[in-house]
Chains A and B, each alone.
Chain A
Amino acid sequence: MLEIEGLTVQFPGRFGVFTAIDDVSLSVAAGEIHGLVGESGAGKSTIGAAIIGLLQPPGLVASGKMTLGETDLRSLSMSQAHELRGRRISMIFQDPQTSLNPLMTIADQLIETIQAHEDVSASEARDRSIALLEEIGIENAATRIKAYPHQFSGGMRQRVVIALALCTNPELIIADEPTTALDVAVQSQVLDLIRRLAKTRGIGFLLITHDIGVIAQITDNVTVLRGGQLMETGPTQKVLRTPDHDYTKSLMAAVPPLDRKLDRFLVPDSDAPDLAAPAGRSAADAEQWLTAGTQIFGEGLGMTDVTVKFSGNRTSLFSKPAAFTALDAVSLSVRPGSVMGLVGESGSGKSTIAKVLTGLVQPSAGQLYLGDNDLPPARARSRKDPSRRQIQMVFQDPYSSLNGRHRIGDILAEPLWHYGLEADADKRRDIAAAILDLVGLSADAIDRFPHQFSGGQRQRIAVARSLLARPSVLICDEPTSALDVSIQAQVLNLLKDLQARFGLTILFISHNLAVVRQMSDDVTVLKGGTIVETGPSEDFFTNPNAAYSRELLSLTPGMPGQ
């Protein structure tokens, strides 16, 4: 149905022409779900935009053939392309929060879309909308249709977005990361819906995603892209199980498996520098410096009966706003030198635990401890408290956790200066260079700015910064969820190595169960601010106790029979 041959998309710019898509061919048949997978910058979304005719200027289709049925997509005029969009090709976007108009009811949005493409009366359009909502699994559609988007949950909203895409009976739907913003339980419902629609309505889906698990779960065929070039294409089972291309092989090897624990990930094409680090600035020097202090690496960390309440929305001018309980009497204990994985859906309170431990959020009740000592909570923790140095944090988003106006050398020297670990500025610089070598970056990175590095390199710098405090505890809040799989594998390897070498205690927060399995000795499952289950990691993954844990595990898309 959709045939693409030799598609090339170029972006002319100030510094020459950038070829985003280079000679890519693929086809989607009616009723087929075709996965388009690749890391960020691979050009997945650009292909989607080229098909639907919405390339951001100055992007242009330089060559190639695109046909939908009998229609040549490249020869369409502006108004013809506009006519085609919606009627024959629809699109589902990543974030259901922003792809619906918050000021219009669901009914208005659906009726508007239907009437834009067909000459039908409003009441007929309404009837069709209700039938459509029922089809995609929204109960009481006749009353729910009058609601506004904010009255629906994230998963329900994504269903409404799908209904919007369906309401003109398109032949092809381009779904750009349709489940990336959703929790696993909701994700599997949305994926089921997509599969059902492909089967019952014979719609072709082009499913763009970076998540191999999603690809494995629902696609029929898959195309692997890298840097705008087609690496491999074929039936999903074949490509994932017995990949031909080296890149696909390394990509598959980098995907953390859910069903077993690996010692290390294989990362064939590593970007680690080959040059030897200068004397006094090598990884060995960094290691020597890190272990030279008097501090003990790897102290236990824990909390008992910690409750955190946030003030909610004020409903009346004169009454106090009702409190929202983010954590409800949570007790948690991380053994010294071990890795505790903390899992849960969004809103379960994972990050709040990190914020309580680092002293950013004041708990309303409960005690914290570090080693054998009490850890003062936020307001009682002075700026000079020793725990400020002992507990370090690695953030989720490496793009915002490094100050963009400072050089890497300054960023790394800051903990050394702040905690009074090294008084001499030249020595601070040497240590900063040495630690860069330890985390696998070249020493000349020291004079550059964060924006000159990729996400994975930045996350290495963030890890290096946290290590320079000579911490005993590292709190990692989703340290790899902003990264591509191959880079995620590198950062996870790095964390594993460092943990083994220095016996760090790590609290590893993630929503990705497969990653948690690779990293942790113990696992704690959190739901709605309370602990559902806690225990040794392998026991949890092989034989979970709580019903919620079993549900969580069964919903997580895994790799096919490895």
Chain B
Amino acid sequence: MLARLFKSEPVYLFFRSPAAMLAAIVAILVLGGAIFAPLLASTDPYDLSSFSLMDGLLPPLWEGGNPRFLLGTDDQGRDMISAILYGARLSLTIGLMAMAVASVLGVGLGLAAGYFGGRFDAIVMRIADIQLALPAILTALLIDGISRGVLPPAIHQDLRVAVLTLAIALSLWVNFARTARASVFVERNKDYVQAAMIMGQHPVRVMLRHILPNIMGPLLVIMTVDLASAILLEATLSFLGIGLPADSPSLGTLIRIGMQFLLSGEWWILWVPTLFLVALVVSINVLGDFLRDVFNPRLR
């Protein structure tokens, strides 16, 4: 089984693409750091009592900082490494969840629209068009605003992550729906799908068991690319102050905090989380491009 995997085309091409391998290494390091943050971080950035103001604004080690804080600290005395690891954990969680929600919603609607066609297809696709006309940030602001109005403040605080996830998912599902629909249009007229339809199989079974496995290629590509978009969108929203608060900082929140110190000489508070975010997003995008090339042999 494993031997066959290593002989397969994608794996073979992967080991011949330095960019894809480098991107995969960066992505795995970040993911590992995020998952094992509680073990790796020297301090808990959520525990305000664990850090002291005396350690505030320490520069990174090579600029003459304290060996306890390799990449320096922020104004609260919070260790930058710990904050970034925990921030990446939050960003990745929200990104992955938003991507999952968006793909289930988008692929489901796209499959059904492509399979049934006609009026249902027209309605779904017009909704998608409207969604595309609204900038993602606007959608997110709208949902955030509505949830603030509808939910009591206490509950709203608890549900911040969920609201953020939903807001991001709602602005990303269109990609999935359009890709799935276009692929279904191609697959639907193939004989194996016709054979299943002639048998009188339930439409849901035809869609999930017969069509879906055959259109996973393009969907996987969209998933990777949209994961990067989701992480960026979360960072944007947090940067604008409608995402996560300063006491549970995601990467976006860290960058917002760092902005205040940009001109006062404490550059590391801004640059370290920013570079980290860029590395993460670029590596995911490179992997997505690699997957797209693999699944679309005409581009090779």
Binding site for B on A (CB under 8 A): 14, 358-360, 381-385, 388-389, 391-393, 395-397, 400-406, 414-415, 418-419, 465, 469
CA separation between A388 and B202, bound complex, in Å? 13
Please measure, in the bound complex, the distance between the C-alpha atom of A382 and the C-alpha atom of B201, giving whole angstroms. Answer: 10
Is there a chain A Cβ closer than 8 Å to B248's Cβ? no
A360 in contact with B191 (CB, 8 Å): no
* Contact yes or no, B199 A388, CB < 8 A: yes
Question: What residues of chain B lie closer than 8 Å to A401, measured between beta carbons?
Answer: 190-192, 195
Residue from B190, B198, B214 with most neighbouring chain A CB atoms (10 Å):
B198
Q: Is B197 an interface residue (CB 8 A)?
A: yes
CB contact under 8 A between A383 and B201, given known A403-B210, A404-B214: yes
* B199–A418 touching, CB < 8 Å: yes
Assess whether A360 is in contact with B200, with CB atoms less than 8 Å apart: no
- Given A405-B214, A418-B199, 15 further pairs, Cβ under 8 A: A14-B12, A358-B198, A360-B194, A360-B197, A382-B200, A383-B200, A388-B199, A395-B191, A400-B190, A401-B192, A402-B192, A403-B210, A403-B214, A406-B213, A414-B196
Q: Could you show 18 A-B contacts with beta carbons less than 8 Å apart?
A: A359-B198, A382-B200, A383-B200, A384-B200, A385-B200, A388-B198, A388-B200, A395-B191, A395-B194, A397-B191, A400-B192, A401-B191, A401-B192, A404-B192, A404-B214, A405-B213, A414-B199, A465-B195
- The answer to whether B191 and A400 touch across the interface, beta carbons within 8 angstroms, is yes
Closest to A15 in B: B7
Query: How far in angstroms is the closest Cβ of chain A from B225?
Result: 23
List B contacts of A384 (CB < 8 A): 200
Cβ–Cβ < 8 Å partners of B12 in chain A? 14
Which secondary structure dominates chain B's binding surface?
A: helix
Smallest CB–CB gap between A63 and chain B, Å? 29
Contacts of B198 in A (CB 8 A): 358-360, 388, 391-393
In the bound assembly, the distance between CA atoms of A330 and B56 in angstroms comes to 89
Tell me the bound Cα distance from A402 to B197 in angstroms: 13
The proximity string for B residues 183-212 relative to A, scoring 1 for CB distances below 8 Å and 0 otherwise, is 000000011101111111110000000100
Kindly list chain A residues whose C-beta atoms are within 8 Å of the C-beta of B197. 360
* Bound-state Cα–Cα, A393 to B192, Å: 11
Contact partners of A400 in chain B: CB under 8 A:
190-192
| Contact call B192/A415, Cβ cutoff below 8 A | no
B194: chain A residues within 8 A (beta carbon): 360, 395
Q: Interface size of B by Cβ–Cβ distance < 8 Å?
A: 16
In angstroms, Cα B214 to Cα A406, docked, is 10
B202 to A: closest C-beta gap in Å: 7
The distance in angstroms between the C-alpha atoms of A396 and B12, with both chains bound, is 34
Task: Tell me which of A381, A415, A418 has the highest count of chain B C-beta atoms within 10 A of its own C-beta.
Answer: A418
| Inter-chain contacts of A393 with B (CB < 8 A) | 195, 198
Determine the distance from Cα of A414 to Cα of B196 in the docked complex, in whole angstroms: 9
Residues of A within 8 A of B192 (CB): 400-404
The residue on B at minimum CB distance from A469 is: B199
Contact call B195/A395, Cβ cutoff below 8 A:
yes
* Cα of A382 to Cα of B202 in the assembled complex, Å: 11
Most-contacted residue by chain A among B190, B191, B210 (CB, 10 A) = B191
Q: Mark B166-190, 1 if CB is under 8 A from A, else 0.
A: 0000000000000000000000001
Chain B residues within an 8 Å CB radius of A405: 213-214
* Complex Cα gap A403–B191 (Å): 9
Q: Which residue of B lies closest to A401 (CB)?
A: B191
Kindly provide the distance from the CB of A482 to the nearest chain B CB, expressed in whole angstroms: 11
Q: How far is the CA of A18 from the CA of B139 in the complex (A)?
A: 56
Shortest beta-carbon contacts, A-B, top 8: A401-B191, A383-B200, A405-B213, A388-B200, A395-B191, A403-B192, A400-B190, A358-B198
Q: Which residues of B contact A389 (CB under 8 A)?
A: 199
What residues of A have a CB within 8 angstroms of the CB of B210 in the complex?
403
How many angstroms from the CA of A392 to the CA of B190 in the assembled complex? 16
In the complex formed, the residue of A with least CB distance to B197 is A360
- Which residues on A sit within 8 Å (CB–CB) of B201? 383, 418
Q: Hey, which chain A residues are within 8 Å of B196, CB to CB?
A: 414
**CA distance in complex: A403, B202 (Å):** 17
Name A404's closest neighbour in chain B (CB-CB): B214
What CA separation (Å) do A271 and B198 show in the bound complex? 31
Inside 8 A of B190's CB, which chain A residues have their CB? 400-401
